[in-house]
Structures are given as C-alpha cells and as structure tokens.
C-alpha cells in the first residue's frame, strides 16, 4: 500500500488536487490510500467542494481522515456544543458556515438550528464523516497526528502525561516531547497544524519569506504549507513496500 499524506488545506481543494496529482496519486489505483491530517475547512473559498471531496473519498473506502482543531470547531457548531461565533469572527469558520449553509454565518446569532438544518440538508453525510475522524494513526514506523502531543497540565516541562492533542502547541511538542517517557525515538512523527515555515524558523534558523516546504527535523515532519498564503499543499508518501 502507498499512503499519500496531506494536511491543512483549509478550504483550498484546487491546491490539494494539484499537489496530489503532482505526487502521483491515482484515485482509481486500489493500492493508493489517501490520509488527511486535519483542518480541511476555513479560510479558503472551496469549503463546499472540500466537503464533497472528503465525503466522497471516505465512502470509497480508501482514505483515512484525522480530525484537526478546525474540524472540531465545525463539529461543535453542528452538535450545538458551541455557537461558533468566536471562530467565525477570528478563525475562518464563518467562510465554511456560509459555504455549507448557503447563507450568512450571522444567522447563527439569530437561530443556530436554522443554520445546522441547512448544512445537514445540503451535506447529509458530512457530520457522519466528521465524527468518524481519528486523532492518530500508525503506519509502520510512522505516527500521524494533526497537531502532535501535549500534556494534561499544559506545562511543556511536565512530560509525565503527554497525550495526542489536535490543539497542541506543536513547537513545544517538538522541543520537549523527546524528554517524555513515552517518546519512542524509533518512530517518525508526522503532523500538520503548525505552519512548517514557523517551525523551520525556530528549529532550523530559516529567516526567508514564507514558503511551503515541509519541516523536517530529527524524527519530526511537519506538513502544514500555510496554504492560504502559499497556495501549496505538501504531500508526504509512505510506501509500505519501501519501509
């Protein structure tokens, strides 16, 4: 099996499709498996198309989608655990709500049930797909997450209780996780969530303009290409025949 990994397209399906095509992904190849590391929505302009894409791929049965923090934001609105207003104003959720409901996100203020019902009517399988998303996936010697690990006390120096967390402060994960007793140096950790250029700046000393290249440091690989700015999506391939 050959796995094609991507992360954080944020409503930019055209960029994702182009990257997958350039990487040699063939949706008709039974040996090709698509793996998303989260944050499929928000900020971009193709959230409706992205919803259709992940629903289609999920029901084809040759894909695995991990849950990112932005995906959790959408779930929380659809399941009425949050009104979504803060994330609509500050984290790009408003664009997704409008794309999926075909109405203004401000309708959440007046009648959240109205917006939820419109989204569920337009995309009746979406919530099912969102709720089946996993927090982590292991393939051979690779551990995949959205944001990495953090600990239950939100103290990067306390490595006694590290857990997978799709809201993780990924910079702390890379800096401190190696000191945790559960850190397995024989594994490679692949994640999105934190812009790769930011991690390259902190750990590799990159000082140039924002570019999309992955972050590769020790046994950590960060794929978030800051797609909204770069219009690029990074693809990482795991070929079981070669590992």
Distant-in-sequence, close-in-space partners of 129: CB < 8 Å, separation ≥ 6? 54, 55, 58, 65
Is residue 123 classed as helix, strand or coil in its secondary structure?
coil
Tens of pLDDT, residue by residue, the chain (243 residues): 999 999 999 999 999 999 999 999 999 999 999 999 999 999 999 999 999 999 999 999 999 999 999 999 999 999 999 999 999 999 999 999 999 999 999 999 999 999 999 999 999 999 999 999 999 999 999 999 999 998 766 666 666 678 899 999 999 999 888 776 666 678 899 999 999 999 999 999 988 889 999 999 999 999 999 999 999 999 999 998 776
125 by Cβ neighbours in 10 Å (0-12 / 13-18 / 19+) ranks as middle
- Res 180: pLDDT: 66
How many helices (H) and strands (E) in the chain?
Answer: 11, 11
* 118 plus 34 within the same structural domain: yes
* 165 plus 98 within the same structural domain: no
The answer as to whether 14 is a domain residue is yes
* 123 plus 53 within the same structural domain: yes
* 116 plus 145 within the same structural domain: no
The answer as to whether 211 is a domain residue is yes
- Res 208: pLDDT: 82
Residue span of the structural domain in which 150 resides: 136-234
* 153 plus 182 within the same structural domain: yes
β pairing state of 136-139 and 142-145: antiparallel
Query: Rounded distance, CA 33 to CA 233, Å?
Result: 17
* 110 plus 89 within the same structural domain: yes
* 6 plus 50 within the same structural domain: yes
Our count of domains for the chain comes to 2
- Res 189: pLDDT: 95
* 111 plus 229 within the same structural domain: no
β pairing state of 220-222 and 188-191: parallel
Distant-in-sequence, close-in-space partners of 81: CB < 8 Å, separation ≥ 6? 75
**Domain CATH number, residue 29:** 3.60.21.10
Domain boundary among 114, 131, 148: 131
Domain boundary among 131, 161, 184: 131
The answer as to whether 240 is a domain residue is no
Domain boundary among 131, 147, 178: 131
Is residue 46 classed as helix, strand or coil in its secondary structure?
coil
Chain centre to alpha carbon of residue 16: 12
Yes or no: say if 163 and 135 are a contact pair by the CB < 8 Å rule. no
* 18 plus 122 within the same structural domain: yes
How far does the chain reach from its first CA to its final CA, in angstroms?
11
* 6 plus 124 within the same structural domain: yes
The answer as to whether 108 is a domain residue is yes
The answer as to whether 239 is a domain residue is no
* 207 plus 95 within the same structural domain: no
* 143 plus 124 within the same structural domain: no
**Token code pair at residue 119:** 């989204």
- Res 156: pLDDT: 62
Query: Rounded distance, CA 111 to CA 173, Å?
Result: 39
The answer as to whether 102 is a domain residue is yes
């Amino acid at each position: 099996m050959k796995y094609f990994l991507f992360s954080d397209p944020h409503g930019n399906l055209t960029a994702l499709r182009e990257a997958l095509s350039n990487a040699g992904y063939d949706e008709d190849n039974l040996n090709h498996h698509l793996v998303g590391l989260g944050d499929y929505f928000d900020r971009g302009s193709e959230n409706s198309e992205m919803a259709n894409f992940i629903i289609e791929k999920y029901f084809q049965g040759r894909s695995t989608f991990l849950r990112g923090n932005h995906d959790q934001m959408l779930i929380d609105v659809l399941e009425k655990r949050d009104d979504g207003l803060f994330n609509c104003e500050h984290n790009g959720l408003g664009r997704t709500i409008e794309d999926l409901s075909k109405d203004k996100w401000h309708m959440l203020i007046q009648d959240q049930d109205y917006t939820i019902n419109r989204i569920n009517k337009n995309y009746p399988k979406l919530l099912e797909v969102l709720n089946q998303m996993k927090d982590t996936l292991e393939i051979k010697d690779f551990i995949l997450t959205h944001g990495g690990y953090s600990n239950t006390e939100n103290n990067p120096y306390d490595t006694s209780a590290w857990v997978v967390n799709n809201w993780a402060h990924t910079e702390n994960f890379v800096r401190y996780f190696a000191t945790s007793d559960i850190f397995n140096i024989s594994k490679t950790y692949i994640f999105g969530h934190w812009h790769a250029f930011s991690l390259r700046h902190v750990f590799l000393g990159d000082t140039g303009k924002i570019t999309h290249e992955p972050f590769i440091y020790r046994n950590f690989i960060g794929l978030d290409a800051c797609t909204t700015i770069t219009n690029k999506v990074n693809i990482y391939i795991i070929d079981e025949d070669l590992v």
